[in-house]
Amino acid sequence: MYKILALDIDGTLLNTKKEITPGTAKAIEELQERNIPVIIASGRPEQGIYHVANALNMKEKGGYILSYNGGKITDCKTGEAVYSKTVPKEYYGDVCEYAKGLECSLLTYEGDYIITEEPDNKYVDLESKVVRMPVKKVENLYDRLNFSVDKFLLVGEPEYMMSKVEAMAEHFRGRLNVFQSEPFFIEVVPMGIDKGASLDFLLSRLGMTRENLVACGDGRNDVTMIEFAGMGVAMGNACDEVKNAADYITSSCDEEGVLKAIKKFFR
């Protein structure tokens, strides 16, 4: 029944030390040898996922990277972008102007770099470390945006960000999708972009249905794929929204929850 596996990265595939345990890696390798595709589905930029995909030999064994919360899907074997949707250029100015009225920093991704006007923000530094991309300071972010933006990310203190996300989502309603992926992150992506919708597209391309999918996640941006999957699995460390949406709750990322889910659903 289950023929494909989608995994969030942080707090799911990776433990709190940002490691894939040997047992989890071996279980994923066994799926790959059985021609069961593995999808890495993350809010991270594509460049910030490659080292995870490489650790799982996905270029050789196959699989897919679903980056920017579903804004782009890449076939690991061929390097082909099988799906891509970027932020419409007419909204760049509004996003930059709106962010100026908030006590946070705005960033986006250009090539192999994070670009921002405020590189010293501790949450910019956190994003840089997590995705393994260096930060480049720009004097005026809007003036720099002569390329297609996959997503914007606002970063700041958790309580403050949580108090502002609803108003920002309302401001851009019908134009952009605005949500929190972490307490200190507000994501701004194209309308209609979320992990569930992009997985729906990919499964159709592969000739599969949602009933064939097991999806594991822990954060708010995982809710759509947990709800969409035939078997939505919440990590033991998942937020309440994910646990409430899930069909099954596994152990935490520090207790090899992904390994246990693979053993349970892909015997």
Check residue 160 and give its pLDDT: 98
Check residue 117 and give its pLDDT: 98
Check residue 267 and give its pLDDT: 85
Is residue 136 within 8 A of residue 120, CB to CB? The reply is: no
Check residue 35 and give its pLDDT: 96
Strand partners, 40: 7, 65
Kindly report the pTM of this predicted structure. 0.92
Q: Which CATH superfamily is domain 4-84+193-265 in?
A: HAD superfamily/HAD-like (3.40.50.1000)
Listed by start position, the domains of the chain span 4-84+193-265, 89-190
Measured between alpha carbons, how far is 99 from 231 in angstroms, rounded to an integer?
37
CATH architecture entry for 89-190: 2-Layer Sandwich (3.30)
8-50: per-residue pLDDT in tens?
999 999 999 999 999 999 999 999 999 999 999 999 999 999 9
Check residue 38 and give its pLDDT: 98
Q: How far is CA 180 from CA 32, 34, 145, 169, 235, in A?
A: 32, 36, 23, 10, 18
Q: How far is CA 163 from CA 9, 26, 124, 183, in A?
A: 26, 42, 19, 10
Check residue 1 and give its pLDDT: 87
pLDDT in tens, the chain (267 residues): 899 999 999 999 999 999 999 999 999 999 999 999 999 999 999 999 999 999 999 999 999 999 999 999 999 999 999 999 999 999 999 999 999 999 999 999 999 999 999 999 999 999 999 999 999 999 999 999 999 999 999 999 999 999 999 999 999 999 999 999 889 999 999 999 999 999 999 999 999 999 999 999 999 999 999 999 999 999 999 999 999 999 999 999 999 999 999 999 998
